[in-house]
Amino acid sequence: MAEFPKSQGAASHGAVRIVRRIWRHSRYRRIVWAFLIAAIWCIIVPPVYLAYLREGGNADTAVDVQGEQSPDHIEVTMIVQQADLMNHKLSMYVTATPYGKLTNRRSELTANVTGYFAYKSFVFPSNSIMQSFDLTVPLLGYPRMYPFDDYQSFLEVGFVYNDADKTPIPIRVTIYGSVQSLSFDTDAQLATNMPNAFDFNITTRRTRTTLFFSIFMMIVMWGLSLTLLTLAYQIVIERRDVPAPLLIVGITMLFALPALRNSQPGVPQVGCASDALSFFWNLFLIAACSISIILAWVLRWKYRSPTPRESICQEILPTSQVTDANPPFCHVAIDTGPNPPPFRSYQANDSACTLPARTV
């Protein structure tokens, strides 16, 4: 067996002694813990924040062959403003800017053109600036699959001259998607039924941070319900004592669970996939455990028969009537059964009087 040199072993032993000596001081321990917490924060928080920034504001650009080569084209910018997933609507803000022979020095159109967006058409007259407008695109998807839901939107974009031949106009289209907790992926292809036009397939889904947070909340709900299930097992099966404060733990969790469920970003009404994976089961477990704990506390209570006891009362005399010849009395009633004996009177200075006399 190979042996380490004595000098190396002594050095390592000395280093261990130094570390132990430093660790004994609370000040150094606090510095080490603060450094570890700061390192963990730097490792986790900034990368997550950078990933969150990359998820928003993504842009996809589609340029046809003629639009890329010809200076006479129309540049279209489409910005996703809102995604109403429950009503299956995608709201977009659209601007169009002409270039080349299509515009003059005042940025006005030199010809009448028509733009086609999805199932709508917009006419832009000559000698005027192309006005921006709002566009609503239908969403195809199932919100009940939250947080694993995704949606598809199909959009055709193209421009033509308002002449007899409906001559197509080269275009350049840029789509921006920036909606909180949602990400957008765009697939563009040349349209088959219209030259110089595009068919867009926009996929809308939850961002990775939203998906992670939703799964984390499901794990938290499962952790709470399993913890309460363990407590209920100890109380019902192992016959653990039930202090009064433990009775409200389950009821508190029962009312807190819907708040945890609704804290998931963009969660729809009750009945989605997240509820089927966690909320419904956890609500049932917490309710059953709470009822079991309360029933165990109620059923284990036993009625105790009354034990012999003394009830002591005092006769209160006015101060004006208390004299040496007429001291205050204390009355002692001894209850030893269903028929207690009558009151027995003792003077205040009698050793049988257990309570001091009171005066008013």
Q: Does 77 share its domain with 179?
A: yes
pLDDT score at 346: 42
Total of domains in the chain: 4
- State both tokens at 66: 């003629």
Q: Which of 173, 206, 239 is the last residue of a domain?
A: 206
Domain assignment present for residue 276? The answer is yes
Together in a domain, 214 and 339: no
Query: Would the pTM count as exceeding 0.75?
Result: no
Whole-angstrom Cα distance, residue 262 to residue 257? 9
* Residue where a domain stops, chosen among 171, 206, 241: 206
| Residue 8 within any structural domain of the chain | no
Question: Given this model, what pLDDT does residue 89 score?
Answer: 92
Per-residue pLDDT of the chain (360 residues; tens, 9 = 90+): 445 455 555 556 666 677 677 667 667 777 877 888 888 888 877 877 777 666 655 555 555 545 556 788 889 999 888 999 989 999 999 999 998 888 888 888 988 999 999 888 899 998 888 999 999 999 999 999 999 999 999 989 999 998 888 888 888 888 888 788 888 888 888 888 777 788 889 899 898 888 999 999 999 999 999 999 999 999 988 888 888 888 888 899 999 999 999 999 889 989 899 999 999 999 999 999 999 999 988 888 776 655 544 444 444 444 455 455 555 544 444 444 455 544 444 444 444 444 444 443
Helix (H) or strand (E) holding 299: helix 280-299
Within-domain flag for 84? yes
- Does residue 147 have a cis bond before it (omega within 30 degrees)? yes
Closest CA to 182 of 199, 205, 152, 209: 205
> Could you list the residue range(s) of the whole structural domain that residue 109 is in?
58-206
Do 93 and 202 share a structural domain? yes
Tokens matching residue 247: 């009775």
E strands, 132-221, where?
133-138, 140-141, 150-161, 168-169, 171-177, 182-190, 198-206
Residue 104: the pLDDT is 86
pLDDT reported for residue 314 = 42
What are the CA-CA distances from residue 120 to residues 114, 140, 191 (Å)? 10, 18, 16
Last residue of some domain: 260, 276, 299?
299
- Pair 154, 85 in one domain: yes
Residue 10 lies in a domain: no
Q: Do 201 and 216 lie in a common domain?
A: no
Q: What separation in angstroms does the CA of 285 have from each of 100, 173, 244, 288? A: 69, 53, 21, 5
Whether 34 is in a domain gets the answer yes
Q: Are 225 and 93 members of one domain? A: no
pLDDT for the residue numbered 28: 72
Asked if residue 3 belongs to a domain, the reply is: no
Q: Does one domain contain both 219 and 327?
A: no
* Beta bridge pairs of residue 186: 202
Residue 2: inside a domain, yes or no? no
Gyration radius of the chain's alpha carbons: 41
Same domain membership, residue 285 and residue 159: no
| 110 assigned to some structural domain | yes
Say what angle helices 249-262 and 280-299 make with each other, to 10 degrees. 170
Residues 286 and 319 in one domain: no
- DSSP H or E stretch at residue 231: helix 208-236
